[in-house]
Amino acid sequence: MTTTDAAVPAEAVETPPVLVRMTAMAKAFGPTQAVRDASFELRSGEVHALVGENGSGKSTLVKLLSGVHAPDAGTIELLGLETPSLRTPRAAQDAGVVTVFQEVLVAEARSVLDNVWLGVDTLVRQRVGRREKRVRAREALAELLGRPLDLDKAVEELSLSERQACCIVRALLRDPRILILDEATSSLDVATRDRLFGIVSRLTRSGVGAIFITHRMDEISEIGDRITVMRSGETVATLARGSWTPRELVRLMTGSDQLTERAREDGGAVAERRGDVALSARGLRLRAGRRPMDVEIHAGELVGVAGLEGHGQDAFLDALRGAGAVDGAIVRHVGGRDEPVGSPTRAARLGVAYVPRERRQTLFGWMSIRENFGMPTLSADSRRGWLRLRLTRRRLNEYVARLGIVLGDPGDPITTLSGGNQQKVAISRWLAADPRVLLLNDPTRGIDVGAKRDLYALLTELAQEGRAVVMLSSELDEHVELMDRVLVFREHELFRELDHASLSREALVSAFFGEDGESG
Amino acid sequence: MSTGAVATESPARPASSARAGYAVTLGLRLLNRYSFAFALLLTVALLATTIVRDPDPWSNGFWVGLLQNMAPMALAAMASTPAIISGGGGFDLSISPLMYFLAEVFIVWLAPHSLGGFASVPIVLGLGAAIGAFNGLLIILLRVPPVVATLAVFFVLIGVDLRMLANPNEGGYLSPSNWVVHLADKVGPIPGGVFTLGFPLLVWFLLGLLPYRRTLYAVGSNDATAFASGVNVALVRVVAYSLGGLFAGVASLALVAISLSANPSLSQSYTLLAIAAVALGGTSLWGGRGGLFGSLLGAASIYLLGNLLLTLQVDPSYLQVMYGGMLLVAVVLGGVAARARQAE
């Protein structure tokens, strides 16, 4: 946080050369103006964070620089020369601009080695020798992951975190002059992320410029030398390290003074809405040979599911919704009776709804917003067997108002919505079925601050209505701010349960790493 | 409350079922690593049966005949493969009529104009590659789904084939002294089929020495990834279709070699069998997995099965049913293997 830069007057420091200067960029996709008027400058040796709510145009802006999209207007200067022809990713890469995209882009069936070197060779000539490829790939992967990775393994056999590491290594192996990381840390575990930041620092010391897009404040403050804030397709401010506060950043991003930090409910209110046991896991083993766990989820309770990536949180949610082979029993308690949850269909019938992590899994990309919303609850909209679109629309409107979904026409394709709004539609679809237990798998991943705020409010409201909410999240602040109780998983066991009073970032992190909570 | 007590140790499995389970896992592993494993097994089994039933399996004629008769279909299957591997719904339905078109070019145009010698080889192969590239360009430039684009070319070529050789009895036959007959017989001591079937495999092997083949598989596996990584996806795909056309050229020579003619009314006869052979050979119809060798084995299985049932004097209508059953088993096995792969 404290650097000499802020203390020394700007004139005293020799300004490093400008690597990229983008001026008055604009890009529209059909009727959507993704980038309106964006100007951006990247200097040699800096990490320049690009922040903004989802749909503010960050990703589109870097895609203009990466040769994925052609700009409608504006100029791009690379190393002081105007560059009109970044028409393909290849052209951008030849100019030294290398991007790790938001999507985890891998060729699933191919080996790690093929994936990290993909696109370096021409079709007939190897630019890098076979042996050198192996050596450099092994070194780069080991440096990022902290352990060796089998180069001949197919990428589809890797974890999400390892896949993302492959994407990052693919970029690093191209010796970028300008490295763009577009939410490249979203699936990495904490240690890998720290190692990545170490690598990025090393690169910037040697004159590389890095553009870094993230939704996480802590990452911005950790690595960002300068920050450019985008809002509605425009760049609104560029701030130097040390001259900003999280509050100010949020104000610039949202254009309002509203903050994400909700006042936490006090323990009394939490105890008050807590009802009877709604769902319980008995003798649940997430993996053979692990310690079994007993968990009870109460009505009116917000339960967080936390841990380092891949430590059994997903398996736990899957078990609760009746999917995946598990050892042990999941029981739903309805009106004094115990009903075993054996399959996702049973779970749904017993009022247990599940919102998966991947929006692509839940939403029908080619269908309209209205259809996406109404799909599982169509029977509510039919009269004498005929579907009445008006009824669906009316039901949808209710949620549009309640969740603050921003949409044009309900008949538009779902893909016209931003990620946050798509997620809201996905959640409202399940709410329309009036579930008693709502299971959410990282619902705020990659959605903007405003949409997160709306979701938090909604989840609290749902708990107050007496519904049980179980939510897996990879963001610490989310657990601290929102949850009544957090289950921390470690190595596929329930490692610790943190109640409302003992919930803090420090307590969570120490539990993640298996440390004794009491001493930490 | 009784439901809670399920979580006890599962009883030890009997050793035999554990061994069977291990065999299944091993089989699936093998199938994942070598997608053509099932087709290989099938080919070996069918070949063994054929050899046992043949009165004189070690004579020269047996192998020469086997290879020459199998060649057109196997080559059609291999020609269909690159487009399918290139992904994005890649498909080339026009291979079969293209074979007949190139065969007719050879018979009707080249041979009467004294180009029927070895000069015909580069002409036929080059023309095939060009038409294949045209298919690829059609798909890339017009953004037409491959099935639709190549279906259009399929119809056009069938029409052209019929027009070119309206009456096969008038100039529709090649002189038996043409060099091409060796491809259906022997070149020195080696069966001609080795050359026709070997050519695509050789080209495929050589491509493996260049970055192209790896890139093709990567494009087929995930084209967005390849594009973002700087691969010229369009070029890779056009080359894949062009390779298909090139192999169709070889297929046309194998076709002419057998009968010294090419009956245009049979133009579409290899279309569906070729696709069946590709799928049977373990190549994923979604792209990115499989290979030419699998398609060869798939075609061999289909051919050998047909041949065998013929010698057993089984009603030919059962043949189609058997093809279907075989294909179904192969595709289901592929699916099971894919699921096992994901579970690991």
- The length of chain A is 520
Which amino acid, residue B83? A
User: What is the full DSSP assignment across B270-287?
Assistant: THHHHHHHHHHTT--TTS
**Domain A4-16+31-106+175-254 classification at class level:** alpha beta
Q: Using the beta-carbon criterion (under 8 Å), do A109 and B342 form an inter-chain contact? A: no
Per-residue model confidence as pLDDT tens digits over B235-271: 999 999 999 999 999 999 999 998 888 888 899 999 9
**Neighboring chain B residues of A124 at a CB cutoff of 8 Å:** 210-212
- C-alpha to C-alpha distance for B273 and B101, rounded to whole angstroms: 18
SS3 for A169-210 is HHHHCCCCCEEEEECCCCCCCHHHHHHHHHHHHHHHHCCCEE
ipTM: 0.83
* Cα separations in angstroms, B22 against A108, A338, B30: 26, 38, 12
- C-alpha to C-alpha distance for B4 and A253, rounded to whole angstroms: 50
Q: A395 or B199: whose pLDDT is higher?
A: B199
- C-alpha to C-alpha distance for A371 and B111, rounded to whole angstroms: 63
In chain B, domain spans? 36-45+59-343
Do the Cβ atoms of A55 and A213 come closer than 8 Å? no
Residue A3, pLDDT above cutoff 50? no
Closest residue of chain A to B344, computed from CA coordinates = A157
Residue A373, phi then psi, degrees to nearest 5: -70, -45
What is the Cα B213 distance to its own chain's centre? 17
Closest residue of chain B to A152, computed from CA coordinates = B33
The reply to whether A283 touches chain B by the CB within 8 Å rule is yes
- C-alpha to C-alpha distance for A451 and A260, rounded to whole angstroms: 10
Residue A1, pLDDT above cutoff 70? no
Q: Which two tokens stand for residue A516?
A: 């004794």
Q: Do domains A4-16+31-106+175-254 and A260-351+435-443+455-520 have the same CATH topology?
A: yes
Shortest CB distance from A90 goes to which of B214, B230, B341? B230
The per-residue pLDDT for A147 is 93
Q: How many CB atoms lie within 10 A of CB A321?
A: 23
Q: Which two tokens stand for residue B91?
A: 């498909």
The reply to whether A105 touches chain B by the CB within 8 Å rule is yes
**Neighboring chain B residues of A114 at a CB cutoff of 8 Å:** 214, 217-218
Residue A505, pLDDT above cutoff 80? no
The reply to whether B142 touches chain A by the CB within 8 Å rule is no
- C-alpha to C-alpha distance for B40 and B42, rounded to whole angstroms: 5
Do the Cβ atoms of A141 and A173 come closer than 8 Å? no
Q: Using the beta-carbon criterion (under 8 Å), do A93 and B239 form an inter-chain contact? A: no
Q: Which two tokens stand for residue B179?
A: 């060099």
* Cα separations in angstroms, A381 against A350, A394, A422, B236: 21, 10, 22, 49
- C-alpha to C-alpha distance for A399 and A394, rounded to whole angstroms: 9
What are all long-range contacts of B189-196, with beta carbons under 8 Å and residues at least 24 apart?
Answer: B191/B60, B191/B63, B191/B64, B191/B67, B191/B68, B192/B64, B192/B67, B192/B68, B192/B257, B193/B64, B193/B66, B193/B67, B193/B68, B193/B70, B193/B71, B193/B254, B194/B67, B196/B71, B196/B75, B196/B250, B196/B251, B196/B253, B196/B254, B196/B257
User: What is the full DSSP assignment across B53-111?
Assistant: HSSSTTSHHHHHHHHHHHHHHHHHHHHHHHHHHT-TT---TTHHHHHHHHHHIIIIIIG
Residue B5, pLDDT above cutoff 60? no
Closest residue of chain B to A66, computed from CA coordinates = B228
- C-alpha to C-alpha distance for A236 and A40, rounded to whole angstroms: 10
Q: Using the beta-carbon criterion (under 8 Å), do A327 and B212 form an inter-chain contact? A: no
Q: A403 or B241: whose pLDDT is higher?
A: B241
- Binning pLDDT at 50, 70 and 90, where does residue B343 land? low
In chain A, domain spans? 4-16+31-106+175-254, 260-351+435-443+455-520, 360-434
Shortest CB distance from B235 goes to which of A121, A123, A340? A123
- What percent of chain B shows pLDDT beyond 70? 94
Domain A260-351+435-443+455-520, what architecture? 3-Layer(aba) Sandwich (3.40)
Per-residue model confidence as pLDDT tens digits over A32-44: 788 999 999 999 9
The per-residue pLDDT for A11 is 47
Enumerate residues 6+ apart whose C-beta is below 8 A from A506.
Answer: A520
- C-alpha to C-alpha distance for B95 and B153, rounded to whole angstroms: 9
Per-residue model confidence as pLDDT tens digits over A265-296: 666 677 778 888 899 898 898 887 788 999 99
Do the Cβ atoms of A98 and A180 come closer than 8 Å? yes
Residue A469, pLDDT above cutoff 60? yes
Per-residue model confidence as pLDDT tens digits over B38-89: 899 999 999 999 998 887 877 778 888 889 999 999 999 999 999 999 998 9
Nearest alpha-carbon partner for A229 in A477, A53, A24 = A53
Closest residue of chain B to A109, computed from CA coordinates = B221
The per-residue pLDDT for A418 is 74
